[in-house]
């Protein structure tokens, strides 16, 4: 079936209408995966009646923390054995003084990998309709959807009734 | 006269609750919403407005960095550490004092941003970025000092652990290596913590810029569109950072305090040094935030809309609390040593208060305790930005004096009286210290025209969740959780 990618805009104070518009798209038979919401401020999924988003950032962060912990353990416990400098009465690999290095490197791993996680997910290909309009950063709420050509006109009219501003497809661009 | 009478009648005609609402709006940024488009434009205008006076300051501070910091440091490298005033018995002088001072200053950004975010203190919203930026530049200034203090800076890489022909293998359990790791961790994480919430605002700037600015913001905003997935990911990441960076912040200054506390120097070996240093760091850092906010408010276009007296009021309360906490730790440390300490520590404490440099000790107590306690209890003072500017500047003078008392003044009077001495910083040392201050101001001046200093999306989010509600005969602010 042929589809058009459409974008509609609502002003920031028309959040209720935006939620209704999504409901209208559902009733037109447009599946969730073909709808995408973009906004200048974060709205929880519950507000717009959208499915929960997911991210692997916490898992990537934990993996990074583990790598940091491993690196710290190697520095603390492996290097003294590689280059032994035994001082009488003192242990070669004392644990209390190693805790500081372990903590710092674990946290470094956690925090850097959090950012790496965000970066990787940002540049990874995403599904769903794509597009952008500079009005989004002016606080507008944008709804992008793939609409079958046969119901396109009817859907647009219904959305206009809800106060939506239909964006000309030529203006829907990538940032 | 007729006009006056009319307006008076008009204002009297307003219902009481409406007047209250008007007052509340004037008072609180989050109750005084403005269309996002206008707020964006205000922030962009502030960022893009540069006057000849601004450029004069940039050039002036840039030159000061070259002459005072790099000139004096270069001279010290070429001539040797003998040009510095550090000599037996004081080997840690004003460089280490400044190192501790700047690391302390850097604490506020994270404290203000992360802790207030975790506890959902709403007044934080307009100034978190200004504070985070201070953390990054404060750390950059502070991180120079270990290198400056090193003397032979060209072999700094000997500190880095790697198998080498000299068979040098640094001890990872040395507090100096802890310092290196802690500062690196904190610098990297606070820079990322500054960057993450900045992405949506960089996208906003991208949509309104042309030329080099457009390319810069387009690159830095990582193709941000504001999709649900992007916001969700950003929120998760900010959440992880806000919680994880707090223990890192505590660890950094604790480790700096351990540089002192694990040594055999009388007056430094104390279990209370960690929390004492942290409280001092937060006191000086929050004060520095107020100082910077006052300067931003008075020098940057449109900032008086975002930075209102409520911000100074909130931060003033925090300063008062931390001043009291600092005094508690100071007294705790002082009393125990005075009452049951060894003769040498008693002598050091006596000399702090009565010796040739006693004025430093008194400056510390006056600026850190007397001034905040005398003035900050007053709401009127806390809500007067220029008064807060003076008070917070003095608090930081006091905190510098505190570090000076702890380091050279303590080192100068150790166990053997024949080895006592007084440390006097030389002109080279003072130049370098002033140079780093200029470096901090220079970096901040530049950043203020490149980075949107107001987190517009966070302000708008706050404004959307705050409303005024009529309760009985009065109007009250009401907050909705949008997250």
The shortest C-alpha distance from A152 to chain B (Å) reads 23
Three-class DSSP labels, B264-314: CCCCCCCCCHHHHHHHHHHHHHHHHHHHHHHHHHHHCCCHHHHCCHHHHHH
Pick from A55, A76, A82: which is nearest to B233 by CB?
A: A55
Report the pLDDT value the prediction gives residue B4, as an integer from 0 to 100.
47
Bridge-based pairing state of the strands A165-167 and B466-471: unpaired
The shortest C-alpha distance from B470 to chain A (Å) reads 20
Q: 3-class DSSP state for residue B316?
A: helix
The shortest C-alpha distance from B219 to chain A (Å) reads 10
Give the single-character DSSP code of B226: -
Nearest CA to A145 out of A57, A41, A46, A48 is that of A48
Sequence-distant (≥ 6) Cβ neighbours of residue B310 within 8 angstroms: B27, B28, B29, B123, B383
Report the pLDDT value the prediction gives residue B6, as an integer from 0 to 100.
46
A167 beta partners = A7
Torsion of CA B124, B127, B130, B133, to 10 degrees: 20
Pick from B172, B192, B244: which is nearest to A75 by CB?
A: B172
Residue of chain B nearest A77, judged by CA positions: B172
A51 in B contact zone (CB under 8 Å): no
Whether residue A130 is preceded by a cis peptide bond, meaning omega within 30 degrees of 0, is no
The shortest C-alpha distance from A22 to chain B (Å) reads 14
Pick from B163, B169, B226: which is nearest to A38 by CB?
A: B226
Length of chain A: 175
Q: Reply yes or no on whether the pLDDT at B394 is more than 60.
A: yes
The DSSP line for B403-464 is: HHHHTHHHHTS-S-GGG-------HHHHHHHHHHHHHHHHHHHHHHTTS-SS-HHHHHHHHH
pLDDT band at B166 (very low <50, low <70, confident <90, very high): low
CB–CB of B233 and A79 under 8 A? Answer: no
The mean per-residue pLDDT over the stretch B393-420 comes to 93
Report the pLDDT value the prediction gives residue B168, as an integer from 0 to 100.
64
The answer to whether the beta carbons of residues B81 and B242 sit under 8 Å apart is no
Pick from B161, B224, B232: which is nearest to A175 by CB?
A: B224
Structure tokens at B355: 């010796």
Report the pLDDT value the prediction gives residue A1, as an integer from 0 to 100.
65
Report the pLDDT value the prediction gives residue B8, as an integer from 0 to 100.
45
The answer to whether the beta carbons of residues B114 and B245 sit under 8 Å apart is yes
CA distances B79 to B151, B342, B407, Å, are: 10, 41, 25
Chosen for mutation from B43, B168, B173 (greatest number of chain A CBs closer than 10 Å) is B173
* CA A67/CA B269 separation, integer angstroms: 34
Pick from A44, A79, A108: which is nearest to B169 by CB?
A: A79
Q: What is the pLDDT along chain A (175 residues), one digit of tens a residue?
A: 677 788 999 988 888 899 999 998 888 888 888 899 999 988 888 888 888 888 899 999 999 999 999 999 998 888 888 777 788 888 888 888 899 999 999 999 999 999 999 999 988 887 788 888 889 988 899 999 888 888 788 888 888 888 888 888 777 776 6
pLDDT in tens, B90-142: 999 999 999 999 999 988 777 778 888 888 888 889 999 999 999 999 988 99
pLDDT in tens, B413-435: 888 888 888 899 999 999 999 99
Report the pLDDT value the prediction gives residue B170, as an integer from 0 to 100.
66
Report the pLDDT value the prediction gives residue B161, as an integer from 0 to 100.
63
Q: Reply yes or no on whether the pLDDT at B411 is more than 60.
A: yes
* CA B160/CA B26 separation, integer angstroms: 55
Report the pLDDT value the prediction gives residue B368, as an integer from 0 to 100.
96
Block residue for tokens 């003998």: B82
Nearest CA to B447 out of B30, B136, B90 is that of B136
The shortest C-alpha distance from B148 to chain A (Å) reads 24
CB–CB of B181 and A104 under 8 A? Answer: yes
CB–CB of A104 and B228 under 8 A? Answer: no
* CA B141/CA B432 separation, integer angstroms: 11
The mean pLDDT of chain B is: 89
* CA B356/CA B405 separation, integer angstroms: 12
Tell me if the pTM is above 0.95: no
Structure tokens at A97: 């003084």
Three-class DSSP labels, chain A: CCEEEEEEEECHHHHHHHHHHHHHHHHCCCCHHHEEEEECCCCCHHHHCCCCCCCCHHHHHHHHHHHHHHHHHHHHHHHHHHCCCCCCCCCCCCCHHHHHHHHHHHHHHHHHHHHHHHHHHHHCCCCCCCCECHHHHHCCEEEEEEEEHHHHHHHHHHHHHCCCEEECHHHCECC
The answer to whether the beta carbons of residues B162 and B220 sit under 8 Å apart is no
The mean per-residue pLDDT over the stretch B393-412 comes to 95
Rg (C-alpha) for chain B, rounded Å, is 25
Rg (C-alpha) for chain A, rounded Å, is 26
Q: Distance between alpha carbon A156 and the CA centroid of its chain, in Å?
A: 28
User: Other C-beta atoms within 10 Å of B196: how many?
Assistant: 20
* CA A112/CA B43 separation, integer angstroms: 29
The mean per-residue pLDDT over the stretch B54-72 comes to 95
ipTM of predicted complex: 0.92
The residues in A 107-136 lying below 8 A from B, measured between CB atoms, are: 107-108, 110-112, 114-115, 117-119, 121-123, 126, 132, 134, 136
Sequence-distant (≥ 6) Cβ neighbours of residue B360 within 8 angstroms: B401, B404, B405, B409
């Amino acid at each position: 079936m042929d589809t058009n990618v459409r974008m509609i805009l609502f002003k920031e104070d028309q959040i209720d209408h935006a939620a209704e518009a999504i409901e209208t798209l559902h009733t037109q038979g447009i599946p969730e995966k073909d709808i995408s919401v973009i906004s200048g401020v974060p709205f929880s999924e519950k507000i717009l009646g959208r499915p929960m988003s997911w991210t692997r950032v916490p898992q990537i962060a934990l993996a990074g923390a583990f790598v940091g912990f491993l690196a710290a353990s190697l520095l603390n416990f492996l290097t003294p054995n590689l280059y032994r400098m035994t001082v009488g009465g003192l242990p070669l690999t004392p644990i209390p003084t190693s805790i500081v290095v372990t903590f710092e490197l674990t946290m470094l791993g956690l925090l850097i990998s959090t950012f790496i996680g965000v970066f990787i997910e940002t540049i990874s290909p995403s599904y769903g309709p794509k597009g952008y309009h500079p009005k989004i950063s002016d606080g507008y709420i944008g709804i992008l959807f793939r609409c079958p050509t046969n119901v396109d006109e009817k859907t647009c009219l219904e959305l206009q009734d809800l106060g939506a501003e239909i964006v000309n497809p030529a203006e829907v661009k990538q940032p | 006269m007729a006009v006056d009478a009319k307006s008076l009648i008009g204002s009297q005609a307003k219902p009481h609750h409406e007047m209250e609402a008007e007052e509340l709006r004037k008072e609180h940024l989050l109750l005084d919403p403005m269309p996002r488009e206008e707020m964006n434009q205000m922030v962009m205008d502030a960022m893009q407005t540069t006057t000849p006076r601004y450029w004069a300051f940039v050039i002036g501070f840039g030159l000061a960095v070259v002459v005072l910091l790099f000139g004096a440091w270069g001279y010290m490298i070429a001539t040797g550490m003998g040009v510095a005033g550090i000599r037996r018995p004081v080997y840690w002088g004003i460089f280490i004092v400044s190192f501790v001072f700047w690391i302390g200053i850097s604490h506020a950004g994270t404290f203000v941003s992360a802790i207030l975010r975790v506890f959902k203190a709403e007044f934080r919203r307009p100034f978190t970025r200004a504070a985070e930026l201070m953390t990054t530049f404060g750390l950059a200034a502070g991180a120079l000092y270990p290198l400056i203090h090193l003397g032979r800076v060209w072999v700094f890489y000997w500190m880095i652990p790697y198998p080498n022909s000299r068979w040098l293998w640094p001890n990872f359990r040395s507090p100096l290596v802890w310092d290196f790791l802690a500062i690196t961790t904190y610098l990297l994480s606070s820079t990322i913590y500054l960057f993450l919430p900045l992405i949506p605002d960089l996208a906003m700037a991208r949509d309104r810029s042309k030329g080099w600015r457009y390319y810069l913001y387009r690159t830095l905003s990582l193709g941000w569109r504001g999709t649900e997935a992007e916001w969700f990911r950003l929120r998760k990441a900010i959440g992880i950072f806000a919680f994880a960076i707090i223990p890192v912040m505590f660890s950094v200054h604790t480790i700096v305090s351990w540089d002192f506390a694990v040594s055999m120097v009388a007056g430094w070996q104390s279990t209370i040094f960690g929390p004492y240093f942290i409280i001092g760091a937060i006191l000086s850092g929050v004060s520095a935030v107020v100082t910077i906010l006052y300067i931003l408010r008075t020098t940057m276009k449109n900032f008086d809309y975002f930075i209102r007296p409520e911000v100074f009021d909130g931060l003033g309360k925090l300063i008062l609390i931390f001043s009291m906490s600092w005094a508690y730790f100071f007294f705790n440390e002082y009393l125990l040593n005075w009452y049951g300490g060894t003769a040498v520590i008693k002598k050091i404490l006596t000399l702090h208060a009565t010796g040739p440099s006693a004025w430093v000790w008194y400056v510390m107590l006056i600026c850190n305790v007397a001034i905040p306690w005398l003035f900050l209890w007053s709401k009127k003072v806390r809500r007067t930005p220029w008064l807060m500017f003076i008070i917070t500047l003095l608090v930081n003078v006091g905190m510098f004096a505190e570090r000076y008392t702890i380091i050279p003044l303590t080192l100068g009077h150790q166990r053997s009286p024949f080895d006592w001495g007084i440390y006097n910083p030389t002109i080279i040392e003072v130049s370098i210290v002033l140079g780093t201050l200029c470096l901090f101001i220079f970096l901040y001046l530049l950043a203020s025209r490149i980075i949107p200093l107001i987190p517009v999306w966070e302000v708008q989010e706050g404004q959307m969740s705050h409303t005024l509600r009529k309760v009985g005969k009065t109007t009250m602010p009401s907050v909705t959780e949008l997250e």
